[in-house]
Structure 1
Amino acid sequence: MARRQVDEVRDGVELTSLDAEAFDGAGVTKRALLDHLDAVAELLLPALADRPLSVVRARPGQAPFMQKNLPRGAPDWIPTVDVWAESSQRTVHYPLCHDRRTLLWFGNQRAVEFHPTLVPHGATTTGELVIDLDPPDGAGFERVVAAAHPVRAALAELGLAAAVKTSGATGLHLVVPLSEQLPIDDAFAATRAVCARAAALAPDIATTAFIRDDRGGRVFLDPTRAGGATLAAPYSPRARPSLPVSFPLTWDELDGASPADFTVGTVAGLLDGRPTWSELRPAPAALQEVLLTEGRAIPVPRVAAMHEGKRRKRARERGA
């Protein structure tokens, strides 16, 4: 097999096809993707360290796909951790991304999105809550921004505060630092309670309905991001035209922001003088016990949705 032409070498990593489109419809080159990853490496890598990493790869002629296992033929200097996947009943060999060299290697493999787990490998506690705001299909970004404000208000009533970033797609991610470590199940419970309180403050805008058909055009406040769940890392691109980036914002910037403002072509030029994601995170605060009490009384969304789906199916069958 003929050896592919090497266009450039960075940190010992051979980079190829740099002037080709990153993926079909990207509108930017693979070089632009790698230049972005290089520019944000010092900001992105801390969010990836010690966390099993899933990536979204985008090859020409193929739809983007999620990759969890480190592929065969990967360099032996990329460490992995083995995680049992209950849903698929198999062991997944997740890569860890600790350095620029690994980040560039993934970029050369056309890994566009970087989704680490929300806690390091083996951790049973967490020091933060994460709320993912997911707007309905076709909604403008202003809709999800409007839903972020009642979440912020609900947190403030509890003495908590969140940092905010664009998801890089259509949503927002809110991260709430805590002053003490929580067991993962308690983090889920507390997040359910915060989301329920926020939805009650703005029921016409936000919802906690896990079943999409029940959301009625409202923004879904997703309380399922904790523990081994994943989230697009800050400064990670997304596999969409122009490669938008998950970008940290101040709350003052949020109302005037647009995801289109933050792409692999623009972010490097926006970093100078801006606070970083770690600097935008508010001071950790104590979690009130009432949140755990409220959250434990709220059914786990995925389980509740499964039972509700079965109930509705039985009702349809009886009515047929």
Structure 2
Amino acid sequence: MASPRITLTVPGPHGDREVGISNPDRVLWPEQGITKRELAEYFIAVAEPFLAANGGRPVSLERFPDGVDGESFFSKNPPKGAPDYVEAVTVTYNSGRKHPQLVLTEIASAVWAAQMNTVVFHPWASLAADPDNPVELRIDLDPQPGTGFAEAVTAAHALREVLREAQLEPWIKTSGNRGLHVFCPIEPTHEFLDVRHAVIAASRELERRMPDRVTTAWWKEERGERIFLDFNQANRDRTMAGAYSPRQLPSATVSTPVSWDELDAVDPAAFTVRTVPERLAAVGDPWAGLLDRPGRIDTLLEWWQRDLDDGLGELPFPPDFPKMPGEPPRVQPSRRNPDNWPKE
């Protein structure tokens, strides 16, 4: 039986808004018993840091109408009936198609999204004011079988050194699962493909220093027991869970910013929908002011050109992308017919 509809009062820049929550007792995380109402109240509790990380930019909503154990789907453009405070911006996708994309400008938008059973928020690396040029360089440290969070931490510290050598200041958060996300604020002077190349250059430099621990190999059969540096998350319309976004895992973990000083002692499983508001009240937001001092990717692009001159070419793109200039074959290496493909 559906629980009665409730109304939550949500503070915002234009005063309080009344946001209706239908079936507030619907359980979204069965193992934890976390309901839709709790999720909506979570966003109110983390409003300021959540909006700082995810607001004012194109964002995709990952919705779970039957809870995290059920099927999910993505909402990118505002659905019919969305309140007028849910904004949108026209963006260009990799196919060249243009379409409105959701933009969150106040926390009532996130509470409305929770009413729509949104669990995971996937923000673009660019702002709505200039969606073609990222304000963040992002690198996803993805543990492969045989590795875990501890190995990702080791790689993250080494990646920080590489990025600082390139005159960038990295910030870090848990993925909400086993990995880590490294972000660098950058000036919005280059489009997504350039930023992707900068990410590849940094990742290759780290791979040279830690060949037994990290890899840029796109094909899983070539990665081994190493941390995969997922360069393709830097592409246009390729996103990862935003800072302070819940994840769909049974434990209701949250992708949580941490300081570099605390990273070695972090337990990512400890950051959940129920614990993150307490953490913020106790230690504040480690990502406060992230965009205040952006760097430039010039050095990384010089490294990219250096590697090109040394014979290291483009890396594969995701399968849904159009074929890109200089891209190697999108065929699993073990399945390639050498008679059909030139040696790389």
CA distance in 1, matches of 2:76, 2:286: 25
Q: Which moved more, 1:15-24 or 1:275-284?
A: 275-284
Q: Which residue of 2 aligns with 1:107?
A: 114
Measured after TM superposition, the shift of residue 264 of structure 1 is 0.3
Counterpart Cα distance in 2 of 1:237 and 1:286: 29
Deviation per residue, 1:64-93 (Å, 9 max, x gap):
332223223323442223334444x86543
Gaps (5+ residues) in structure 1?
none
Q: Deviations over 1:207-228 (max 9, x none)?
A: 0111122111211112231554
Alpha-carbon distance in structure 2 between the residues aligned to 1:222 and 1:186: 16
Partner Cα separation in structure 2 for residue 150 and residue 204 of structure 1: 13
**How many percent of aligned residue pairs carry the same amino acid?**
33
Question: TM-score, with normalisation over the residues of structure 2?
Answer: 0.81
Counterpart mapping for 1:217-256 below 5 A: 217-224=225-232, 225=234, 227-256=236-265
Unaligned ranges ≥5, structure 2: 10-16, 318-323
SS for the counterpart of 2:274 is coil
Which of 170, 174, 183 aligns to 1:166? It is: 174
Please give the alpha-carbon distance, in whole angstroms, between the structure 2 residues aligned to 1:15 and 1:38: 13
Please point out which of 61, 65, 68 is paired with 1:59: 65
Q: Name the CA distance, whole Å, in 1 between partners of 2:209 and 2:247.
A: 31
In the other structure, the counterpart of 2:331 is 309
The question of whether the paired residues in 1 share the 8 Å contact of 2:28 and 2:35 is answered with yes
Matches within 5 A, 1:167-316: 167-178=175-186, 181-224=189-232, 225=234, 227-279=236-288, 281=290, 284=293, 286-287=295-296, 289-296=298-305, 297=308, 298-302=313-317, 307-309=329-331, 313-315=335-337
What CA deviation, in whole Å up to 9, does each residue of 1:147-193 have, x standing for no partner? Answer: 21221121233343311101112211111234673343332222111
Q: In structure 2, do the counterparts of structure 1 residues 299 and 30 end up closer, same or farther at CA, with 3 Å as the change threshold?
A: same
Q: 1:26: how far off?
A: 5.5
Shift of residue 247 of structure 1?
Answer: 0.7
Out of 26, 30, 33, the residue aligned to residue 36 of structure 2 is 30
Report the Cα distance in structure 1 between the residues aligned to 2:85 and 2:161, rounded to whole angstroms. 46
- Measured against aligned partners, the alpha-carbon deviations of 1:102-160 in whole angstroms (never above 9, x if no partner) come to 11110111101111111023433334321111111464311211221221121233343
| 3-state SS of paired residue (2:8) | strand
**What is the rounded CA distance, in whole Å, between the counterparts of 1:310 and 1:226 in structure 2?**
21
One-letter code aligned to 1:16: S
Letter in 1 for 2:127: P
Aligned CA distance change for structure 1 residues 294 and 245 (closer, same or farther; 3 Å): same
Counterpart-to-counterpart distance in 2, 1:180 and 1:101:
28
Describe the shift of the 1:66–1:180 C-alpha distance in structure 2 as closer, same or farther (beyond 3 A).
closer
Aligned residues, how many? 316
Judged with a 3 Å threshold, the aligned counterparts in structure 2 of structure 1 residues 73 and 24 are, in CA distance, closer, same or farther, namely farther
Q: CA offset at residue 194 of structure 1?
A: 0.7
Stretches (4+) displaced over 4 A: 23-26, 285-290, 303-306
- 1:129 is paired with a residue whose SS is strand
Q: Which amino acid aligns with 1:198?
A: L
The amino acid that maps onto 1:181 is T
Give the match's secondary structure for 1:181. coil
* Alpha-carbon RMSD: 3.0
**Structure number having the greater helix percentage:** 1
Q: 1:313 to 1:278 in 2, by over 3 A?
A: same
Q: Which TM-score applies when normalising by structure 1?
A: 0.86
